[in-house]
Structure 1
Amino acid sequence: MSIPHVLAIPFPAQGHVIPLMEVSKRLVDRGIRVTFVNTDFVHKRVIDALTDKDFLGDSIHLVSIPDGLGPGEDRNDLGLLAEAMFQVMPGKLAELIRKTEEKEGEKITCVLADGSMEWALEVAHKMNIPKAAFWPASVALFASGLSIPKMISDGIINDEGVAIKHQKFQLAPGMPDMSPANLTWACIGDVATQKIIFNVMVRVIKSMELADWFIGNTSCDLEPAALAFAHRVLPIGPLLANHHLDSSAGYFWPEDSDCLIWLDQQAPKSVIYVAFGSFTVFDQTQFQELALGLELSQRPFLWVVRPDTTEERDDAYPKGFKERISGRGKLVGWAPQQKVLAHPAIACFVSHCGWNSTMEGASNGIPFLCWPYFADQFIDENYICDLWRVGLGFNRDESGIIRREEIKRKVDQLLDDANFGKRASDIKEKLAKGIVEGGESHKNFSNFVQWMKAL
């Protein structure tokens, strides 16, 4: 019997590539071959950042297709990127599938597409290939997409996704509160971009009907109400619960592992870990207030500062900051986050609340300080603070800045209250049970693999 061959295609952003790569590694563990399709731009970043160029071996074949944008165009402009991909990538994907099948002499068993790459399901449908969708974000986000027609008829948004009402609402009991102004498409870029992303969401929801299987990086313990609402999504997460911890395939920046040696020298539960994912950008004032807030806390901290974290290209730190915090603070360009969060020295996680970071923090029993930036991160903050009660949010001043005194106050409030840590530990235990044999996520993934092997 021939080995099943899956073609996996993520949305070209760090928070989408990593979890689909994790699914791919787990498929390989079950005897399935994977061709992993990035855009040319992301493919180069992933290859350049790989520590061991050959470690994926023959099991996961990394390939790429163009995203439709020119070399100098801004791929952080999600509206521009979404439109370009929609025009160019379906044809390129169909071509890649044909070439792969000719070369291999056998058909692709299944196309496994990120939910935001909904057109890939349509390509597979036209080519008569079985298809599965993967949702890397919270199911609450998918549920908000499913609810677009109802939100329009209830007068919460208009038919272009623009908020009409401003009071918070719940899609179902037990789901996070949502604010119309914080709906995912309303938190991305300018008005034109928001309209594009809203239309993408509408297309995504429609295309999901084509999927034979629909899996998500979540757990029935984290999102019971959202999973009941969007009942087609089968939870297989958390995908990042210390599985294959030695592998960093899929990262866009080389990791600085020296920070683990530094963490080894810190006391248990003493270090504030600060990381804002791959998109968050700070203006100079906010960046400096964050730096001074960490200094003011008088606690050890590990802070991930990407090369493009600030709008300021020169040294953005407050004068004398690096000298004053040397020994107590560690600054890195990109950290091996799963290893960091699993380290006994970590006390709390100052996070942008991207879903991967949320799942990683929850899986390691770490309490959060929430600093959402855009898109679905506001929904995730509601989960963390209001439903799971394992974190706190920050208050901004009248000019929209989170001040240093507020940062110190919230760090102290979180770490001086043992209940946050206790609730976080309870969630860690529940999540661990879900992914071992007999757990809900484990069963769902096994069924998914069996379906694929039976094709």
Structure 2
Amino acid sequence: MGSTEVATKPHAVCIPAPAQSHIKAMLKFAKLLHHRGFHITFVNTEFNHKRFLKSLGSNSLDGLADFRFEAIPDSLPDSNEDTTQDVTLLAESVRKNFLAPFHALLLKLNNDAIEASSNPTVTCIVSDGFMSTFTIKAAEEIGAPIVLFNTIAACSFMGFTQLRAVVEKGLVPLKDESCFTNGYLDTVIDWIPGMRDIRLRDLPTFFRTTNPDDVMLNFIMESTDRAHDASAVVLHTFDALESDVLDALSVGE
């Protein structure tokens, strides 16, 4: 393949949420894009990048000429690579610390493309939906379209989009811990398009807190608030399974 042909290939920068299941799903999606002719840059956190190298060997992420791996810092204290990182601390860091290094990486990739004509410039970003708190901003700053890849079903995504509404309606945060056992979670939620017979307990469990400043609740709400700013949203589902919800989401767009 000539350098001119490589340089004109579409270049997708894929960045998963830094959790095992999200990384695996994004990697499979990136492989499909690569198979369809995309140049891929796959971005892990340094913590997870090191875990891959430790598990699979020092050359395991050398990649191909058109499928490369990069890493950005997560700004968390060093921890044992054999343990799972604290999800709450990680979510807080995603909100506050990931934009600058990710934006710097995008600029580096584009500068490298200018200096070496065999590499294409970034043409789009494929971001995990839970990373949108910074990836949409980064995409706007370099003028690239962004696709949010949600590694969840359509009903889960719809549930996440409703968390802001249940807060605004005063249903969440919970008044006290008795709400977990006194039947409060059976409160009917009848306004969600495409989802009938839903109770409060059927929504994603991140709302189950008595703290209005709960990190995970606010992280999820901020992530879904900006979904409509993406060029496209990909959901891990198929139409025959969740047609009602998918139709409702399409109308909402």
User: Is 1:17–2:38 an aligned residue pair?
Assistant: no
Matched, 1:32 2:34: no
Shift of 1:107: 2.7
Shift of the 33–135 alpha-carbon distance from structure 1 to 2, 3 Å rule, reads same
Cα distance, 1:72 vs. partner?
2.6
The gaps in structure 2 that reach 5 residues or longer are: 115-119
Cα distance, 1:176–1:127 mapped onto 2, change above 3 Å: farther
Q: Which residue of 2 aligns with 1:59?
A: 66
Aligned to 2:150: 135
Task: Go from structure 1 to structure 2 and tell me whether the alpha carbon gap of 1:138 and 1:175 turns closer, same or farther (over 3 Å shift).
Answer: farther
Tell me if 1:69 matches 2:83: no
1:185 paired residue number: 206
Aligned-residue offset at 1:121: 1.2
Give the number of aligned pairs: 231
SS at match of 2:159: helix
Tell me how far 1:98 sits from its aligned partner.
Answer: 0.9
Does the CA contact (< 8 Å) of 1:38 and 1:64 recur in 2? yes
CA contact (8 A) 2:124 2:144 kept: yes
Match of 2:107 among 91, 98, 101: 98
Mapped partners of 2:20, 2:207: distance in 1:
21
Gaps of 5+ in 1: 235-455
AA at the equivalent of 2:45: T
Matches within 5 A, 1:61-210: 61-72=68-79, 76-105=85-114, 106-118=120-132, 119-158=134-173, 165-167=184-186, 169=188, 171-172=192-193, 177-180=198-201, 183-186=204-207, 195-210=214-229
Letter of the structure 2 residue corresponding to residue 10 of structure 1: P
Partner AA of 2:65 in structure 1 = D
Percent of residue pairs identical: 22
Cα distance in 2, alignment partners of residues 92 and 57 from structure 1: 23
**1:185–1:195 Cα contact (<8 Å) kept:** no
Alignment CA distance shift 1:40-1:122 (3 Å): same
2:72 aligned partner, one-letter code:
I
Contact 1:125/1:210 (<8 A) preserved: no
Instruction: State how far apart, in whole Å, the 1-side matches of 2:130 and 2:239 are.
Output: 22
TM-fit CA distance, 1:46 = 2.2
How far apart are 1:150 and its partner, in Å? 3.5
**Higher RCO (CA < 8 A, seq sep 6+):** 2
Structure number having the greater helix percentage: 2
Pair 152,88 (structure 1): closer, same or farther in 2 beyond 3 Å: closer
- CA drift of 1:29 comes to 0.5
Match in the other structure for 2:50: 44
Matches within 5 A, 1:251-330: none
Whole-Å separation in 1 of the counterparts to 2:150 and 2:86: 21
For the residues of structure 1 that align with 2:35 and 2:197, how far apart are their CA atoms?
Answer: 35
In structure 2, the residue corresponding to 1:144 is in which secondary structure? Answer: helix
TM-score between the two structures when normalised by the length of structure 2: 0.78
CA distance in 2, matches of 1:233, 1:34: 31
Give the direction of change, closer, same or farther, for the CA distance of 1:8–1:192 in structure 2 (3 Å limit). Answer: farther
CA distance in 1 between counterparts of 2:230 and 2:61 reads 33
Q: Are 2:235 and 1:216 aligned? A: yes
Distance 2:65 2:251 in 1: 33
- Aligned pair 1:231/2:250, yes or no? yes
Rate the CA distance shift 1:176–1:48 in 2: closer, same or farther, 3 A.
Answer: farther
> Highest Rg: 1 or 2?
1
Per the alignment, in what secondary structure is the counterpart of residue 99 of structure 2? Answer: helix
- 2: CA distance between counterparts of 1:176 and 1:11? 31
Matched position secondary structure for 2:186: coil
Residue in 2 aligned with 1:371?
A: none
TM-score after normalising by structure 1: 0.45
State the Cα distance separating 1:56 from its structure 2 match.
4.0
SS at match of 1:26: helix
In the superposition, relative to structure 1, how do residues 54 and 150 fare at CA in structure 2: closer, same or farther (>3 Å)? closer
**Stretch moving more, 92-101 or 43-52:** 43-52
Secondary structure of 2:41's counterpart equals strand
CA pair 208-139 structure 1, distance change in 2 beyond 3 A:
same
Aligned to 1:262: none
Q: CA RMSD in A?
A: 3.2
8 Å CA contact 2:194, 2:245 repeated in 1: no
